[in-house]
């Protein structure tokens, strides 16, 4: 099972990347994350000699990894060497590490520019790392399933929620939640308008802006496909002057993810589906996914 596109993925949260070399997998593709101080680089993880995963027992030696199978020195990113592994494009936003399996211009959909802005403006921390039984696309699709917010997450009122393509080809859904004011709002109104803008940059990655005008926050949701289901990850970004809200936001993200998992873990993805007018944003998301070409 190979990831079907050359778009962006939320590959890992920094707490998963504490070693010099961290073994990772994206679909059936072996990867390694190499830490160089605060910098983290991502490379193909399969040894070009006999296919051993360099992340399991490999040792960093300068600009090479010593393969744990036959001891060969595997160059990191130097394609002129006989034994080398390619470096993959990455972006960082605080605790979140993103990767692309292709460095071509297609399928970026404006993500690189958007995430650089997030990294410059916000404090980004990890909130969720959880295995999920459904395909990865279902995790991101939730941002476009406008009807589930009322039923699953008990949002009292959802308004708008129309999907459209953005300037860079990303899929955007905009609307408004009407809820009680969150704990960090100074004015604890009963009817609190929370702006909702979700931008899917690939079938496996969505960046959502939520909250009132005075204290907006950003939720980054990604899912990495694996042999059965996927691993879902969520990171949260706030302005530097709003970090006091992070504990409540992290708790809320974990709670909401667990609510969704109850559905996901018992969902029959092979059952016939009869979508109706209320599913228009979901249909738009599925069409968006289909627009990504295979690697």
Q: What is the pLDDT of residues 22-64, one digit of tens each?
A: 999 998 889 999 998 889 999 999 999 998 999 999 999 989 9
Is the CATH number 3.60.15.10 carried by domain 8-108? no
Handedness of CA 284, 233, 17, 69 (dihedral sign): negative
| Strand-pair partners of 131 | 231
Query: Which residues, at least 6 apart from 121, have a Cβ–Cβ distance to it below 8 Å?
Result: 237, 239
- Which pLDDT score, from 0 to 100, does residue 184 have? 47
The pair phi, psi for residue 262, each rounded to 5°, is -60, -40
Query: Which residues, at least 6 apart from 233, have a Cβ–Cβ distance to it below 8 Å?
Result: 10, 12, 13, 96, 126, 128, 129, 130, 221, 222, 223, 224
- Which pLDDT score, from 0 to 100, does residue 181 have? 55
- Which pLDDT score, from 0 to 100, does residue 155 have? 81
Alpha carbon distance 205, 18 (integer Å) = 23
Instruction: Please give the span between the terminal C-alpha atoms of the chain, in angstroms, as a whole number.
Output: 12
Give the tokens for residue 64. Answer: 């090479």
The pair phi, psi for residue 126, each rounded to 5°, is -80, 150
Low-confidence stretches of the chain (pLDDT < 50) are: 184
| CATH architecture of the domain formed by 120-290 | Alpha-Beta Complex (3.90)
Domain boundaries defined on the chain: 8-108, 120-290
């Amino acid at each position: 099972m190979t990831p079907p596109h050359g778009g962006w993925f939320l590959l890992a949260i920094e707490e998963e990347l504490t070693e010099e070399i961290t073994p990772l997998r994206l679909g059936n593709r072996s990867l390694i994350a190499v830490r160089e101080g605060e910098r983290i680089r991502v490379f193909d993880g399969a040894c070009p000699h006999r296919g051993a995963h360099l992340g399991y027992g490999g040792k960093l030696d300068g600009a090479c990894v010593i393969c744990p199978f036959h001891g060969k020195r595997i160059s990191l990113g130097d394609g002129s060497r006989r034994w080398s592994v390619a470096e993959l494009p990455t972006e960082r936003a605080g605790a979140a590490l993103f990767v692309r399996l292709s460095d071509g211009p297609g399928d970026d959909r404006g993500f690189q520019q958007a995430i650089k802005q997030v990294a410059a403006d916000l404090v980004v921390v990890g909130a969720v790392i959880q295995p999920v039984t459904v395909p990865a696309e279902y995790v991101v699709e939730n941002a476009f399933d406008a009807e589930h917010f009322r039923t699953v997450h008990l949002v009292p009122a959802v308004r708008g929620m129309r999907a459209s393509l953005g300037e860079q080809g990303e899929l955007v859904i905009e609307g408004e939640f009407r809820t009680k004011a969150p704990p960090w709002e100074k004015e604890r109104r009963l009817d609190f308008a929370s702006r909702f803008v979700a931008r899917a940059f690939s079938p496996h990655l969505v960046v959502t802006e939520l909250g009132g005008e005075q204290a907006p926050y950003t939720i980054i949701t990604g899912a990495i496909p694996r042999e059965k289901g996927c691993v879902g990850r969520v990171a949260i970004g706030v302005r530097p002057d709003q970090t006091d809200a992070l504990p409540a936001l992290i708790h809320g993200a974990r709670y909401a993810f667990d609510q969704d998992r109850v559905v996901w873990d018992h969902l029959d993805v092979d059952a016939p589906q009869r979508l109706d007018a209320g599913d228009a944003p979901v249909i738009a998301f599925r069409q968006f996914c289909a627009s990504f070409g295979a690697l």
